[in-house]
Structure 1
Amino acid sequence: MGVGQENLYFPGSWCYFDFVGNTTGNRVMSYIYALIGISILSVTSTINAITIYRIWRDPDRLRYLEDTRRISGSLDSHVMIFISAVTVVFVILWTPLIVVVFLHAANIRNENNEVELWFLRMTVCNAIVDPWLYIVLRKESLEKIIYILRQCTGNPSQENEALIS
């Protein structure tokens, strides 16, 4: 784009676009980054929330989401649990960096210290956590977790299938 520059951040081991600089180009780039980030977070959260709400509100819509190639032909609620978890993790891990970039652009925050490093590390963790969410929140894994919880509470029953499928 031709705006902004890169900067070496605390402790001098990582480089990113300069969101702490005071030049017009750096501030423009910071505002663009923050606004696009806030937009992505908002749109993703809103669309996922609307999707989950509409499916739970109107069970007749479930048939539109059925996988006719499967023998059971039912929509598994574990998919909704997975969508919710991925969305929450995404928002929790990305929001701090986006907010700190905006605060730097607005000249509310001027420091370049370990806070920026931790927020960048949090955003990188999103790519690490998402595959683990998939592994843990698979239908089979959720059934096993519910089975173990029911065994621990002394209520072993077959209701775990109704909760997951």
Structure 2
Amino acid sequence: MDRILFVLAGTPVRVLDVLLVGGAVALFLLLVVSIILIRTSRARGAEAGAAAERQREMDDKMAELNRASAELAGRMQTVAEVLGSRQSDLARLVTERLDTVQHRVGQGLEQAARAQGENLGKLNERLAVIDAAQNRLNGLAQEVIGLKDILANKQARGAYGQGRMEAIVR
């Protein structure tokens, strides 16, 4: 180990010196590699931490979105139920109103038919009275024509006058 391997700048280099320098270089390289590995692992740890933080944030946002979606679905279901009940209420009200209107129209038509029947009955009575009066007028017109014929003939007029006088005297 004390043997000189070579001379460098006038200094003899021994095996022990080479081993010491080699060990120092190896130790230095080991230290550099360790520092690089530590920094890399810290960077990876920081990246992993940041990635984990981003993942956690994304998970939180997804959970919030899922919660909002479930809430929205619940509200939509509630709105659908309310609209369904409102529609059935509206249909019921329309049916009730339609029944009421039909009942009123039916009563109105019935009253109108009854009143029209009564009016037609009264009209028939009046027409019967007018017809009877017309018949009497026709009879009276015939009698007036007969009287006119009698009064137009002098002989018949005299006989008529005499008959009337006799009727008065008696």
TM-score (normalizing by structure 2): 0.22
* Higher share of residues assigned helix: 2
Q: Which has the higher relative contact order, 1 or 2, with Cα contacts under 8 A spaced 6 or more apart? A: 1
TM-score (normalizing by structure 1): 0.22
